[in-house]
Structure 1
Amino acid sequence: MPVAEQAVIFPHEGEQLLGILHRGAADARLGVLVVVGGPQYRVGSHRQFLLLARDLAAEGVPVFRFDYRGMGDSSGDMRGFEDIEGDIGAAIDQFQRTHPSLEQIVIWGLCDAASAGLLYAWRDSRVTGLVLVNPWIRTEEGLARAYLKSYYLQRLISRDFWTSLAAGRVNPANSLRSLLQMTRKATASRHPDKARKTPAAQGEQAAAPSHPPRRARQPLPERMAESWQRFRGPILLVLSGQDLTATEFLDTTNRSPAWRGLLERPNLQVKPLPEANHTFSRDEWRTQVSDWTLAWLENPTAHHRRTATP
């Protein structure tokens, strides 16, 4: 009788990757691949990925969580989430080898792993669904807008801020300077030529790793929108209410012409968790995400989309 959890070592491009298989039902046709976002490994923050895998496997859903090259216990140089397509493909291959009944794969990812899963999914017909948790869609302008919305606005309406200001515990000049800097960054996209000429932008360009031309053509939000457009399977989108990454995702997708209408598709379910932080540090938040995932897997095409406003 096979063990419920099994460590698996599998090769990819000369490196050795480590994964953990949670078997679930022996005849299951659908399994969940947990892609790990950095910098962490296959257990996840607060053991979230481990607990999620055990919850799903207990209900018969096989799960494979793995460390891609350079992460956790896998060998190789560390790489960014935009360079792990091959790792994801190799993990799916291994998942199917160790669980031969599998025909359909759902990719589950948090933060930049969600983005990696989205960028990959439409390229592989075996991937039939996505669970995207607080997807990473970072740009300098998007982050600045998220700060303005989530931090500076809340400070301005906070009684503690004005009490501290009156008591001299807050330097108004520094606060104003910081606010103006964030405002300039948030509006930089309105003046792209000017933004490209700034020393910071030149420094970032010089320091950026070389990428194939396909990646160099478009910013991350546009590439993610293209991948969303191309992927036709069901998507579960989970967004934390107390998270800059989730706030930036919503703000960017609401503003970007490339995303127009994509979050209105009937294949999408949106589940907001208003009190949760980025890594779901409380047990009740992790349990809720696990329950949502299981319910969605049982009926992924049901249309329960609702407006999310973290």
Structure 2
Amino acid sequence: MRRLIEFPCAGVRLLGTLDEAAGDTGLLIVSGGNEIRVGAHRGMALLAQRLAAAGVPVFRFDRRGVGDSEGPNGGFLSSAPDIAAAAATFTAETGVKHLAAFGNCDAATALALFGHVAGIDRLILANPWTIEDTDDLPPSAAIRARYKEKLRDPAEWLRAARGGVNFNKIIGGLRKVSQKPSQETHMLATRLMEALATWEDRLTILLAEGDATAIAFRDAIKGLPAETLDTASHSFARTGDADWLFERVLAALRQ
């Protein structure tokens, strides 16, 4: 059964969706960016439905200022109260004994930073966010990876010879790659690395190999074990991605 639940956070009303199941381990899904709880291409709603059918209760919610929830939208770094309120509501409504959480992009980073305070026992993080750039270009690590791929492709050299390459875009990318990372980027990556270390063996990291955010994470935080999928879809929306994500999340919950 799926039902809507209102709950308070910092003096305003938030709205969440509970997919009920009989299991004693529950999964809290935290949305990334300004994405509503249904997820891109209904991905999080469909994931919740499949997990509930497998015996895992799942709770999704809109943080303050997003979707059906009230209040100001302060971004993911201000979401600690939202995550804590959602976790408390989920536990109270279901009585789950163990609480895991899943987040993609900056929701993954928020969970790493604030999950302990919310009483979460285990994290499943996809494509964690480490970027604080202010331009419209991809992260430097993603630009480098893309250029390496193009340089190995004879078709790209032929395209360049025929004038099919945007050299202004290339120059902009090279300029960005040559710049030193900003202090803010270093600070966020350092905070995330320190936070991830506190989760030890209660952490699963999932990466879309061709996704710019995942590439930037790998570049900023090296050596951390992760399971990877050969896809460029940040939200795991390509054919077969959803099955892979479901299987990995379910496996992590059963550890």
TM-score calculated relative to the size of structure 1? 0.75
The amino acid of 2:129's aligned partner reads W
1:244 aligns with 2:212: yes
The amino acid of 1:143's aligned partner reads P
The alpha-carbon distance between structure 1 residues 32 and 245, as it changes in their structure 2 partners (threshold 3 A), is same
The alpha-carbon distance between structure 1 residues 152 and 98, as it changes in their structure 2 partners (threshold 3 A), is same
Q: Which residue in the other structure is 1:11 paired with?
A: 8
CA RMSD of aligned residues (A): 2.1
SS of the aligned residue for 1:17 comes to strand
Return the index of the structure with the highest Cα Rg.
1
Distance 1:169 1:232 in 2: 48
The within-5 A match list for 1:135-146 is 135-140=128-133, 143-146=139-142
Please state which structure has a larger fraction of its residues in helix: 1
Q: Which residue in the other structure is 2:104 paired with?
A: 110
Pairing partner for 1:123 from 117, 125, 131? 117
Q: Which residue in the other structure is 1:278 paired with?
A: 234
1:67 aligns with 2:35: no
Residue deviations 1:51-70 (CA, integer Å, cap 9, x gap): 11111111111110000001
Q: Which residue in the other structure is 2:177 paired with?
A: 183
Q: Which residue in the other structure is 1:289 paired with?
A: 245
Residue deviations 1:113-171 (CA, integer Å, cap 9, x gap): 111111112334x311000011111144992132112x222222233322222112335
Distance 1:276 1:7 in 2: 33
Q: Which residue in the other structure is 1:29 paired with?
A: 24
Once the two structures are TM-superposed, the CA of residue 276 in structure 1 deviates from its matched residue by 4.4
1:169 aligns with 2:164: yes
Distance 1:285 1:250 in 2: 20
Once the two structures are TM-superposed, the CA of residue 103 in structure 1 deviates from its matched residue by 2.2
Once the two structures are TM-superposed, the CA of residue 39 in structure 1 deviates from its matched residue by 2.2
Once the two structures are TM-superposed, the CA of residue 88 in structure 1 deviates from its matched residue by 0.4
Once the two structures are TM-superposed, the CA of residue 43 in structure 1 deviates from its matched residue by 0.6
Once the two structures are TM-superposed, the CA of residue 227 in structure 1 deviates from its matched residue by 1.0
Residue deviations 1:33-77 (CA, integer Å, cap 9, x gap): 000111210110111111111111111111100000011111111
Q: Could you list the runs of 5+ residues in structure 2 that have no partner in the other structure?
A: none
The amino acid of 1:228's aligned partner reads L
TM-score calculated relative to the size of structure 2? 0.91
Q: Contact 1:30 / 1:105 at 8 angstroms: preserved in 2?
A: yes
Q: Contact 1:121 / 1:231 at 8 angstroms: preserved in 2?
A: no
Distance 1:45 1:291 in 2: 19
Residue deviations 1:203-241 (CA, integer Å, cap 9, x gap): xxxxxxxxxxxxx9x711111112112224511111001
- Percent of pairs identical after alignment? 34
The amino acid of 1:133's aligned partner reads A
Q: Could you list the runs of 5+ residues in structure 1 that have no partner in the other structure?
A: 190-194, 197-215, 255-260, 265-269, 300-310
Aligned length: 251
Q: Contact 2:139 / 2:216 at 8 angstroms: preserved in 1?
A: yes
Residue deviations 1:269-298 (CA, integer Å, cap 9, x gap): x22101341111224101110011112211
